[in-house]
Structure 1
Amino acid sequence: MNYLSAENIAKSYGDRILFKNVNFGISRGDKIAIVGANGSGKTTLLSILAGSIPPEDGIVSHRKDITVGYLDQQPDLNNALTVMELILAGESAQLEAVRAYETALAHNNPAELERAMALMEKHEAWDYEAQIRQILGELGIHDVEQSVGTLSGGQRKRVALARVMIQNPDLLILDEPTNHLDLEAIEYLENFLNTNNGTLLMVSHDRYFLDVVCNQIVELDSGQLYSYKGNYAYFLEKKAERLAIEAAELDKNRNTFRRELEWMRRQPKARSTKAKYREDAFDELKDKVSGKRGSAELDLNLRTSRLGSKIMEVENLSKRFGDKILLDHFTYTFKRFDRVGLIGKNGMGKTTLLEMMTGKLRPDSGVITTGGTVNFGYFTQSDMNIPENQRVIDVVQDVAEVMKLATGETVTASQLLHHFLFDRQKQYDYVHKLSGGEKRRLQLLLVLVRNPNFLVLDEPTNDLDITTLNVLEEFLLNFPGCILIVTHDRYFMDRLVDHVFVLEGEGKVRDFPGNYTDYRDWRDSQPKKTESSSTAAAKNQKAVTEVKEATGSVSPSPEPAKKRLSFKEQKEYENLEKEIEDLEQRKAVVLDHLNSGGHHEQLTAWARELEEIDQQLTTKSDRWLELAEYL
């Protein structure tokens, strides 16, 4: 049974064509995800298919006897309503029955109440309010009387998601449903969609989510749709095969084009016997060869500042808001190349902890001591504080007009933007014209261009396409510094972290060795606790008391006076910077010589020089780090 069909639809913005003559259909029971690069038009296509915006050409039709629920990326909600009022304002037979019952109770009319109760019985709506509260609670919304106008952006998205889930439509259309959900909520949504017999169409970049939920992947690439019957893993396999076939076809077309071009050039222009069919075929081939190009790839090859042996020491850190304890005597010493994931339900204090570590928020008590060489790069989940009417290139030039890459090469702001997949036209666009993913990519550039050696990443995967995520993962795997990550993308976290901080509530933080999947498997294997909440609270209070007795006062103790560099040491430090850079450049030259080959004597001499350079680099780098600690 066909639920939705689109025929020859097209959409463009100015001179830019997103897609043209696109055909699409979804049948009952399908669970389809649309994937593609940032800015390719996924959200626009989804909005057209949902009926939210019209196509420029073509027709979109829904089956008349089905209900459709649509979750927009930026939901438009009535701020005057409470959360429960907003949910009850939806469309379904059960919601209609609940509204009628609530109205009858308010009017205190026995006849009206009897009819409303019969309606509740008919649609099995007696436990519907409990279901509403359960779904909202699983998504992290517990105060159903809270005004919608007071909700954060993430809370609004979760309330909008709960509303379409509660309506239980025949066709569910979701745009990035996992954004702003914590890991437990994502797993709840996965289970809901897997056990639901409805039909699903969505846009998502969550690879685990796609693999578990979907039975069909549709890729939007260069204005065309490519459909793959299977989950995300199957899509990756078949896409690789398609690209290999296209590459072979392109090589074949190029060879044919070169031969035909020679033929066209040899023929006299005035000669009328030239085969017309061959000219037409040449023109068609020319379009194929010139129109097909390799997909661009993000290049994260930026320089990183050196990191000393002392990174960060967190001692007895505590923070609370009102009666809510977020952290209680948290202590940890960061080591070089630490890769830590931060796990916890929404509202547990993950972002608060990041802001205290980066100095943006003061703790109630405790001490954070940061090493002198630490240079934070803080990628926040909030939008960039950049005027929407500023051009993209101006945003980057405000930070730096020229930058150094890891190779030592110097690039301009325009060249760096090109590395980050912003072509010349896009560089001179205003910020407000960028897609959500393009804004996040620009934000990532602005963080990395400052050469950080300690990356603090708060939901870095939101709105980034899968290709960009893969490149970012490879960059972070080879990042020569510390990383602290908060993310709802389980695949991203599993690849990058070697242990996790688990915020368990009441200020308790568990340091678990392993990634998220390791922790989840361990957690699920634990016996369920049966003790009462009062007993648990008493034990928690006892533990807090014991920690306080063991540690004494939590007031920050005065730091010992730091050693100052003498004038001679200061000059030595400055000279070491230049000497290390010169040695690295010489090392690159020697490596080039070795790779290019030569006589045995030359190769031996270059190998010996390379060994000496490495020894000098080790000695000078250690001395530089020692001096840097005192700056």
Structure 2
Amino acid sequence: MNYLSVENISKAYGERVLFDNVSFGINKDQKIAFIAKNGSGKTTIMNMINGFDEPDTGQIVLRKGINMAFLSQNNNLQDELTIEESIFASDNETLKVIEAYEKALENPEDEEVYQRAFDDMDRHNAWDFETQYKQILSKLKLVDLKLLVKNLSGGQKKRLSLAIILISRPDLLILDEPTNHLDLEMIEWLEDYFSKENITLFMVTHDRFFLERVCNEIIELDNNKVYQYKGNYSYYLEKKEERIASENASVDKAQNLFVKELAWMRRQPKARTTKSKSRQDDFYKIKEKAESRRKDNVVELEINMERMGSKIIEMVKVTKKFPEKTILDEFSYSFQRGERIGIIGKNGTGKSTFLNILTKTMNPESGKVIIGDTIKIGYYTQSGINPKPGQKVIDIIKEYGEYIPLTKGKIISATQLLERFLFDAKKQYDFVEKLSGGELKRLYLCTVLIQNPNFLILDEPTNDLDIVTLNVLESFLLDYPGCLLVVSHDRYFMDKIVDHLFVFRGEGQVEDFPGNYSDFRSYEDSSEPKGLSSVSTENNASKSWKEKNATATGLSFNEQKEFNKIEREIKDLEFEKAKIEKEFADGKVADDKIEAKANELQKIIKSLEEKEERWFELSAKVE
């Protein structure tokens, strides 16, 4: 059964065309993810579906009688209401049924009205409505129903908005970045709920684990065309690669034919026969096809990192408490070169406060933070850019100079740098307030990286970034030689780039776990956490999970970190080796570059052998 049809819609702002002639449908029981690059119109299409905007052409048709709900990134809650009052203030069909039943009870003589109200209560399963909504609120950790909305955190407001929608049990649920501002526990609960519930979903999300485990179809808006994939995220990646390879092969064939046809066209006399006219018409079709090769602009990140001395950052017996909770309790840690640490924990356990203390934007009650003389911190916060009124994109970058230093003594102009971050010449002179949420994040990331930090701190960097930009950011961070500290609810992102975790348990308890997020979840699921002690002052470092379980693993904490890092490095080296070998096999190496390529390949092979040998040494210790 078709619930909603998007039919040939288009949208443009002046000369800028967001999308043109876009069509797709949403059917009962489909769980669809909508994927597109930032700035290509995802949010605009979501707003059109929900009636907040209109297309320039085409139409959106919702099946009559379908109950549709929308979870936006901005909550529409009333600050002066309590959590429970917010539930009853919502436009919920079940609440209307209950209200009608209560009115029917006031006038029992009207048997027809009473019977209809009674039947509606049965049909909507409204008899135990209170139990239902309290169960969902409990699952979403909203247990104090008397709390005012204005006193809730951003994460709590998002959960309340989500609860109101889930309680209403819509036929069609539209979600715009549903995992933003939720902690990992809530994301996993929501993932499990949606994967099991018989509900129709249409969502925009960058959370690739969520896409993998919830969605059964993906719709992609790519280069102004819509492509549909009947499967989850893994299936989408596989089929998209096949599609692009096929498109490129088709374009290559058209280009070869175009060259031949162009030569024929130039030989043609002015007088035209019917036969040659037909061939001339075909020529222009071939020309259009030959010039249609994908323009996959790629964000190019390059950094001229400051030299890092022996002392990085040391936190000594740092304590931070608020009247209602303790964030840090005599926390000590000495950061080492090249560390890649992820920070996880429930909302409200103090992750952002920890970063503010580390960067000295907030003072601890006791203890101290010692930053090495050579350390230059780059801090990507959740607050993002605060542009001046009327400021343009190019103005933001020029605040750091007309020319920006890169690696190997190179420099680049502000305009060229923005082009590397996918801001074309026209977009650079747009007002900052016109940018989409993802474009704002990308611009902010640019301003952080061009300062060439050697200690990079990222607080929720993946929110609002499209999947293409996320992949590029991950590739950059894998090669980043400095220290990296990341707070993120993106499990895929964390798995890919961090070597160990600081786990914020609350009440000042911070645990050091040597592995990525999936390792941590596997450990948590396999047994009750034991021996995971707080980061302490002993030897200016922590007695971590692996040190306290060394008899079980055979590896010390540092060895476990090294083991995890080597596995990732081996994978990268194998990829580079296969890439160069393929270039040789395909005959794509120029004669004057054969020797250099061969030397590069030998270095990779040697490094691979050394790392594999060390991997076997460490793996032999694992029982």
TM-score, normalised by the number of residues in structure 1 = 0.79
Q: Trace 1:382-401 onto structure 2 (pairs within 5 A).
A: 382-401=383-402
What's the CA shift for 1:143?
Answer: 4.5
Q: Are positions 1:56 and 2:56 aligned together?
A: yes
In structure 1, how many angstroms separate the alpha carbons of the residues matched to 2:329 and 2:490? Answer: 27
Q: In structure 1, what is the equivalent of residue 610 of structure 2?
A: none
Contact 1:97 / 1:119 at 8 angstroms: preserved in 2? no
3-state SS in 1 of match to 2:291: helix
Q: How many correspondences in the alignment?
A: 541
In structure 1, how many angstroms separate the alpha carbons of the residues matched to 2:135 and 2:358? Answer: 35
Letter matched to residue 310 of structure 1: K
Q: In structure 2, what is the equivalent of residue 5 of structure 1?
A: 5
Contact 2:36 / 2:222 at 8 angstroms: preserved in 1? yes
Contact 1:175 / 1:204 at 8 angstroms: preserved in 2? yes
3-state SS in 2 of match to 1:234: helix
Letter matched to residue 12 of structure 2: S
What's the CA shift for 1:30?
Answer: 0.5
Letter matched to residue 252 of structure 2: D
Q: In structure 2, what is the equivalent of residue 18 of structure 1?
A: 18
Q: Trace 1:368-517 onto structure 2 (pairs within 5 A).
A: 368-517=369-518
3-state SS in 1 of match to 2:369: strand
In structure 1, how many angstroms separate the alpha carbons of the residues matched to 2:168 and 2:382? Answer: 29
What's the CA shift for 1:381?
Answer: 1.3
In structure 1, how many angstroms separate the alpha carbons of the residues matched to 2:216 and 2:435? Answer: 31
In structure 1, how many angstroms separate the alpha carbons of the residues matched to 2:274 and 2:120? Answer: 83
In structure 1, how many angstroms separate the alpha carbons of the residues matched to 2:270 and 2:507? Answer: 85
In structure 2, how many angstroms separate the alpha carbons of the residues matched to 1:475 and 1:51? Answer: 39
RMSD: 3.3
What's the CA shift for 1:343?
Answer: 0.9
In structure 2, how many angstroms separate the alpha carbons of the residues matched to 1:246 and 1:230? Answer: 21
Alignment CA distance shift 1:221-1:407 (3 Å): farther
Contact 1:254 / 1:289 at 8 angstroms: preserved in 2? yes
Letter matched to residue 241 of structure 1: E
Contact 2:332 / 2:537 at 8 angstroms: preserved in 1? no
In structure 1, how many angstroms separate the alpha carbons of the residues matched to 2:270 and 2:46? Answer: 50
Q: In structure 2, what is the equivalent of residue 315 of structure 1?
A: 316
Q: In structure 2, what is the equivalent of residue 248 of structure 1?
A: 249
3-state SS in 2 of match to 1:132: helix
Contact 1:194 / 1:213 at 8 angstroms: preserved in 2? yes
Q: In structure 1, what is the equivalent of residue 146 of structure 2?
A: 145
What's the CA shift for 1:93?
Answer: 3.9
What's the CA shift for 1:26?
Answer: 1.4
Q: Which has the higher Rg, Structure 1 or Structure 2? A: 1
3-state SS in 1 of match to 2:407: coil
Letter matched to residue 202 of structure 2: L
Contact 1:17 / 1:223 at 8 angstroms: preserved in 2? no
Tell which deviates more after alignment, 375-384 or 79-88.
Answer: 79-88
Percent identity, aligned pairs only, is 51
Letter matched to residue 319 of structure 2: S
Contact 1:9 / 1:22 at 8 angstroms: preserved in 2? yes
Letter matched to residue 90 of structure 2: G
Alignment CA distance shift 1:127-1:317 (3 Å): farther
3-state SS in 2 of match to 1:275: helix
Q: Unmatched 5+ residue regions in structure 2?
A: 541-590, 600-623
Letter matched to residue 308 of structure 1: G
Q: In structure 2, what is the equivalent of residue 160 of structure 1?
A: 161
Q: In structure 1, what is the equivalent of residue 609 of structure 2?
A: none
Alignment CA distance shift 1:84-1:100 (3 Å): farther
3-state SS in 2 of match to 1:158: helix
In structure 2, how many angstroms separate the alpha carbons of the residues matched to 1:49 and 1:244? Answer: 33
Alignment CA distance shift 1:203-1:598 (3 Å): closer
In structure 2, how many angstroms separate the alpha carbons of the residues matched to 1:30 and 1:376? Answer: 45
Alignment CA distance shift 1:430-1:338 (3 Å): same
Letter matched to residue 483 of structure 1: L
What's the CA shift for 1:19?
Answer: 1.8
Tell which deviates more after alignment, 457-466 or 278-287.
Answer: 278-287
In structure 2, how many angstroms separate the alpha carbons of the residues matched to 1:597 and 1:34? Answer: 43
Alignment CA distance shift 1:189-1:300 (3 Å): same
Contact 2:333 / 2:537 at 8 angstroms: preserved in 1? no
Q: In structure 2, what is the equivalent of residue 584 of structure 1?
A: none
What's the CA shift for 1:76?
Answer: 3.4
Q: In structure 2, what is the equivalent of residue 28 of structure 1?
A: 28
What's the CA shift for 1:110?
Answer: 11
In structure 2, how many angstroms separate the alpha carbons of the residues matched to 1:550 and 1:238? Answer: 52
TM-score, normalised by the number of residues in structure 2 = 0.80
Contact 1:312 / 1:369 at 8 angstroms: preserved in 2? yes
Q: In structure 2, what is the equivalent of residue 40 of structure 1?
A: 40
